[in-house]
Structure 1
């Protein structure tokens, strides 16, 4: 099975970094009007992306899926300027290998349909709703801005730890890329 995985605020906690930088950050609107257009293409914005911490259990969950034979594809709306350090960030934080695709916001459903992605992990409400009906299951990392995203095939989660029982019924399976957590 092919699994699509968004980066920012799905596996990397960019919002906490933004909250430290911008006092006017809104977590009820996406994208937040408090973030200047093009910010993530600036040296400061790129540095912020580098410094974001992974969510607990995200790497272990995806490693478990990869070790079970599933293909992980990372899809992001980050600027292509972030390609090298994004690959390094994924490896340094224990995420399984996989293709890394840079797409404009709103294009993930088209990519998922064309490449046969069956499950998708996402936080952006626009992307999650467009993926609904295209993939079998959309796992939505819960944030105030995606509160209204719901429907058949959409599973909201707060912590990656909640996802583990869905992919490893009966307990955790140790894998070659398992991290101590």
Structure 2
């Protein structure tokens, strides 16, 4: 089978990692419950930052957010390693900025994610992901962003939504824990 995966907030817990970094950088102690209650992707509001300030904070912190010790979601790494060992094709499709593509691929490999030459797509807008997913004719694609998954209604690809606080309004097969991934694929 051909499996496709978004990276941030699908395989790795990037926003929670960034939230922790924001607490440190801003000298605050905003509780994780504030993060878990967020209804949007952006994480700056609990810190009292405006959208412009939040955007500037995110942009100035990208290297630290992307390439430090951001953890993968429990079971994600093991699931992808098992899929690779079983001979499945694994594709990564991330909208991280182009200037971070090579370093992202290297970082993912260093974490143990199985990456095959030509199976790593990076540097596109979320809306452009759809064309890649269609072109690859993936059997399964997992992402956290409703805007990506909702545009895949007319394809054979089974779409699975990685559960996040900001996507609760979406009615798609929902991945709460990576240990449940194969069960979702087979249903």
TM score, norm. by length of structure 2: 0.76
Q: Distance in 1 between matches of 2:42 and 2:154?
A: 23
* Consecutive unaligned residues in structure 2, runs of 5 or more: 24-29, 46-53
Partner of 1:163: 181
Matches for 1:97-176 after TM superposition, within 5 Å: 97-98=115-116, 99-102=119-122, 103-150=124-171, 154-166=172-184
Say which is worse superposed, 158-167 or 136-145, in terms of deviation. 158-167
Structure 1, residues 73-96: CA drift from partner, whole Å, max 9, x if none?
Answer: 101111122123212221122211
- Kindly tell me the number of residue pairs found equivalent between the two proteins: 164
Q: Distance in 2 between matches of 1:138 and 1:147?
A: 15
Secondary structure of the corresponding residue to residue 104 of structure 2: helix
Matches for 1:17-56 after TM superposition, within 5 Å: 17-20=17-20, 21=22, 27-31=38-42, 34=45, 35-36=54-55, 39-40=58-59, 42=60, 44-51=61-68, 52-56=70-74
Q: Distance in 2 between matches of 1:31 and 1:125?
A: 14
CA shift, 1:30, in A, is 3.1
CA shift, 1:144, in A, is 1.3
Instruction: Indicate the structure with greater helix content.
Output: 2
Preserved CA contact (<8 Å) 1:122 1:128? yes
Partner of 1:172: none
Calculate the aligned-residue CA RMSD, in Å: 2.5
Q: Distance in 2 between matches of 1:77 and 1:39?
A: 15
CA shift, 1:12, in A, is 1.0
Partner of 2:111: 93
Q: Rg bigger for which structure?
A: 2
* Consecutive unaligned residues in structure 1, runs of 5 or more: 169-181
Q: Distance in 1 between matches of 2:151 and 2:18?
A: 25
Instruction: Indicate the structure with greater strand content.
Output: 1
Partner of 2:102: 84
